[in-house]
Amino acid sequence: MLAKFTKMLFPPKEIIGIDIGNHSVKLVCFVENKKALALKDWGCIPLTIKADTPPEEKKAIISEEIKNYLKKKGIEARRAAASVSGNSVIVRYVKLPKLTSKELLLTINVEAEPFIPFDINDVRLTYSILNDVTEEGEQKMETVLVAAKKESVQDKIDILEGAGLDPVLVDVDSFALETLYSRLVPAADNSSVLFLNIGQKVTNLSIVTQGVTRVVRDIFIAGATFDKAIAKALKSDAAAAMAAKKAHGLLVTDEDKEAAIESFDKEGILVSKAASGVLKDLYTEVSRSIDFYLSQGVDHSIAKIIISGGMANLGNVSMFLASEFKVPVEVANPLAFLSEQPKNIPKDVLPALAVAAGLALRKFKDWEE
């Protein structure tokens, strides 16, 4: 009884990072033991929600799924962080007149409005000053502006509250990946890394240089695009296409292609051809973002690509992208920084936990100041 009362007075301080996707909800929670982080809880909750389900009903279903999972696993942490991405979020890197922190706080809506393609009254706006610069003799501040539609942010808050959680932060997927990057990559590493978080509906692209995100973009070529292309190639329904996608990898090497032909693996050949076509479209879009990044006169070209999300499990996807981009490509292990690696997480689930892990790593100072 005393232990229960103590927990009510002093609830666990851990943060549950919750990545609410279209096909699943991913959860990660860390605990600090003797100044070292360890994985406390994790989860991947599949969602089966009909496409025509009303938004409010959909939110209630997701809340209930999260609530039931937390209860089933005995997860007691109640503080939670979620994230947004897609069309409801705009990230802009701009140079603003040099102002004091107080002046900027009072005028940020006016300063930001020309750069935000939404009604400024319909968004939640935040910013971060990267550094001071001089442009044509005038002192300015290089600033990243983030605007998210209030409705999108509120949806995530409603889901968390509906699950009995206390929402302490709503981040952006790409910046959650930046938080994760700071743990995965040594501070002394000055190279530029490109993250591709390939989900079901959207691919989050971010280029991180010296620990700071310099390019953010959401590309609407993702898991659903692969499913559609494969379904068309196989003349099958979506469920069969998803199953075929999991069963077959990309045929990248000449040996793999010859083996598929010799074994009359028609389905494998069709899946590879369809998936390769989608990946080439993705390559084109990513290349445009890289060109934009390089056009800013930066000192570092892309040294490595890290892929995460559910589509990172497509067989040979890292090999295919490495051959296209001509740089090393690796599948993310978002828990690689832990001194003790958990043994109960399936290898194919790990890349999908990247955003949730980044959210769970946010420090209390981020929202308590």
Residue extents of the structural domains in the chain: 88-148
Neighbours of 355 (CB within 10 A): 33
Whole-prediction pTM value?
0.89
Architecture per CATH, 88-148: 2-Layer Sandwich (3.30)
Q: What is the pLDDT of residue 249?
A: 87
**366 pLDDT higher than 60:** no
Q: What is the pLDDT of residue 367?
A: 40
Local confidence band at 365 (pLDDT 50, 70, 90 cut-offs): very low
- Structure tokens that stand for 99 in this block: 């102002």
Q: What is the pLDDT of residue 105?
A: 82
Q: What is the three-class DSSP state of 343? A: coil
User: Mean of the pLDDT values across residues 153-162?
Assistant: 96
What are the residues facing 97 on neighbouring strands?
140
User: Mean of the pLDDT values across residues 233-248?
Assistant: 90
**112 pLDDT higher than 80:** yes
Local confidence band at 368 (pLDDT 50, 70, 90 cut-offs): very low
Q: What is the pLDDT of residue 225?
A: 95
Q: What is the pLDDT of residue 6?
A: 37
Question: For 237-248, b where at least 16 C-beta lie within 10 A, e where not — what string?
Answer: eeeebbebbeeb
Q: What is the pLDDT of residue 267?
A: 93
Please report how many Cα atoms fall inside a 13 Å half-sphere around the Cα of residue 249, on the Cβ side: 14
| CA 2 to chain centroid | 40
Q: What is the three-class DSSP state of 357? A: helix
Q: 71 and 165 in contact (C-beta within 8 Å)?
A: no
Sign of torsion, CA 217 147 208 186?
negative
Mean pLDDT of the chain: 88
Local confidence band at 213 (pLDDT 50, 70, 90 cut-offs): confident
